[in-house]
Amino acid sequence: MNSISSIMGEQKLLPIIQVNNADDGVDIAKAMYEANLRTVEVVLRSEKSAEAITAIKAALPEMIVSAGTIIDEASLKIAKDAGADFIVTPAVTERLLKALTASGLPVLPGVSTVADIILAREHGFREMKLFPASLSGGAAFLKAVGGLFKDTRFCPTGGVSESNYKDYLSMSNIFAVGGTWVAKPEWVEAKNWQAITDACLDVK
């Protein structure tokens, strides 16, 4: 199964798309595509999120679209049916990890403690999302666990922003960061797609 870092390639930002309708999801994805981003995460937090995944895949066939906020087998099925390319979870349980492993899709499981990391590792995962990063120890936590799990890499999400993402990316056990700051709600409401493109281009 492909690792998430290999899917993302040189891309160091996993931009998070939160929408209430599919049209906005497509426009946000197009704005990110204009900034040379080819991988995005659509979180399943509204009734239209799954529709947005399908619509983005149709409008931008080259874009890799992951589904986030997968918390159980029901949401996993919704993500698969929508055509998600890989799965992102906010947390892990034994049951969820078994379902994720059986899904056949690449997965970025969410962890917030050392116990979570060990549990995910027992299921074969070596790349994980730290969530919510800012409330789970942030960079200090990731530095501490780097010595414990030398073959494990992370994508911190939750509290990552334009003011601190470089601190995370400077660490050897970080392969990417996830965040919503490149698609602020006020920009989406105003349909200011250029602001989203510019914000994505600013991430180096």
Over the stretch 96-133, which tens digit does the pLDDT of each residue have?
Answer: 999 999 999 999 999 999 999 999 999 999 999 999 99
Does the CA dihedral 59-64-70-73 come out positive or negative? positive
pLDDT band at 1; cut points 50, 70, 90: low
Do residues 106 and 131 make contact, with C-beta atoms less than 8 angstroms apart? no
pLDDT score, position 204 = 79
Residue entry with tokens 């049951």: 95
Model pTM? 0.96
pLDDT score, position 97 = 98
Residue entry with tokens 């059986």: 102
* Strand 64-68 with 177-179, pairing: unpaired
Nearest by Cα to 43 from 23, 61, 17? 17
pLDDT at 165 over 70: yes
Triad 163, 155, 171: Cα angle to 5°: 65
pLDDT tens figures, 17-69: 999 999 999 999 999 999 999 999 999 999 899 999 999 999 999 999 999 99
Percent of the chain residues past pLDDT 90, beyond the cut: 98
184 in catalytic set: no
Residue 156 CA: distances (Å) to CA of 82, 162, 198: 25, 13, 22
From the candidates 129, 143, 166, 184, which is the catalytic residue?
Answer: 129
Q: Tell me the pLDDT of the chain averaged across its residues.
A: 97
d(CA 149, CA 151): 6
189 in catalytic set: no
Give the three-class secondary structure for 149: coil
From the candidates 10, 34, 41, 127, which is the catalytic residue?
Answer: 41
